[in-house]
């Protein structure tokens, strides 16, 4: 039984390696947002946990700082249960102005964001054999190297060159091979790739 089990494990390793090597690779990071999905036009969207500084010109009594609730809503003076998650700060400012117009003549509102958690749909998720697997807020121009620094690199069991990136392009799921070992251990900059909102990194463990 031991021989058969070892053979099965060996075949599984070869199959996984073949699957990873058969995936396409992304081009090296360009040092600027890639054209795919046009991140050059990317605008930050508010998410639960973000801090919003709401400033109403000439009306300090209704100016305030609030944290977006888990349900994606906020409550401010004169404005109750306003859904803000998934919207831009400018969109939220205009909606607050509409509500305040009932009480204040021609209100002018500015919304400034702090915390920068962002909506869950745009976070970068790192799963598997990272030192600290977690979800990260997307930042324009973010690369694989930035993500790996944020999660503390790979753990001792990681097979970084078998890592995969899952990305949805025009609603279609696509997978790409990543060479994280080459990037982190060998300093191969060609292995550094641009990230997009909603990307998921899956880092498997090595077979010994």
Task: Write down the pLDDT at residue 5.
Answer: 47
pLDDT band of residue 20 (cuts 50, 70, 90) is low
Contact assessment for residue 192 and residue 168, using Cβ atoms and an 8 Å cutoff: no
Instruction: Grade residue 1 by pLDDT with cuts at 50, 70 and 90.
Output: very low
Q: Is the pLDDT of residue 23 over 50?
A: yes
- Statement: residue 9 has pLDDT above 50: no
Q: CA-CA distances (angstroms) from residue 72 to 69, 134, 196?
A: 5, 21, 23
Q: How many CA atoms lie within 13 A of 208 on its CB side?
A: 4
**Domain 51-114, second-level architecture:** 2-Layer Sandwich (3.30)
- In tens, the pLDDT along 142-184 reads 999 999 999 999 999 999 999 999 999 888 999 999 999 999 9
Q: What average pLDDT does the segment 98-107 reach?
A: 96
The CATH 3.30.1950.10 portion of the chain extends over 51-114
- As a whole number, the mean pLDDT across the chain is 87
What's the rounded mean pLDDT across residues 129-139? 96
Q: Could you tell me the pLDDT band of residue 29, with boundaries at 50, 70 and 90?
A: confident
Better pLDDT: 14 or 179: 179
State the Cα–Cα distance between residues 193 and 152, nearest whole angstrom.
18
Classify domain 2-37+120-203 at the CATH superfamily level.
Answer: Outer membrane lipoprotein wza domain like (3.10.560.10)
What stretch(es) of the chain map to CATH 3.10.560.10? 2-37+120-203
Whole-structure pTM value: 0.74
Q: Which two tokens stand for residue 170?
A: 């025009």
Q: How far is CA 41 from CA 31, 33, 108, in A?
A: 16, 9, 25
In the numeric block, the tokens 């010994």 are attached to 208
Q: What is the pLDDT of residues 57-86, one digit of tens each?
A: 999 999 999 999 999 999 999 999 999 999
Local structure of 205: helix, strand or coil = strand
pLDDT score recorded for residue 15: 45
Report, as an integer, the average pLDDT of 173-199: 96
Residue 62 phi/psi, 5-degree rounding, is -110, 5
């Amino acid at each position: 039984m031991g021989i058969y089990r070892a053979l099965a494990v060996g075949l599984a390793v070869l199959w996984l390696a073949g699957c990873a090597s058969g995936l396409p690779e992304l081009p090296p990071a360009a040092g600027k947002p890639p054209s795919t999905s046009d991140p050059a036009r990317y605008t930050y969207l508010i998410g639960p946990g973000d801090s919003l500084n709401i400033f109403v010109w000439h009306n300090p009594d209704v100016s305030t700082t609030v944290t977006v609730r888990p349900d994606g809503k906020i409550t401010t003076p004169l404005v109750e249960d306003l859904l803000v998650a998934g919207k831009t700060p400018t969109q939220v400012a205009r909606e607050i102005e509409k509500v305040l117009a009932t009480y204040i003549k021609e209100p002018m509102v500015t919304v400034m964001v702090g915390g920068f958690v962002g909506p869950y749909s745009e976070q970068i998720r790192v799963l598997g054999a990272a030192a600290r697997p977690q979800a990260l807020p997307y930042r324009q121009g973010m690369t694989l190297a930035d993500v790996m620094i944020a999660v503390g690199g790979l753990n001792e069991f990681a097979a970084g060159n078998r890592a995969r990136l899952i990305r949805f392009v025009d609603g279609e799921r696509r997978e790409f091979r990543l060479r994280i070992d080459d990037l982190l251990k060998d300093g191969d900059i060609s292995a550094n790739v641009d990230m997009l909102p909603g990307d998921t990194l899956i880092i498997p463990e090595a077979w010994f």
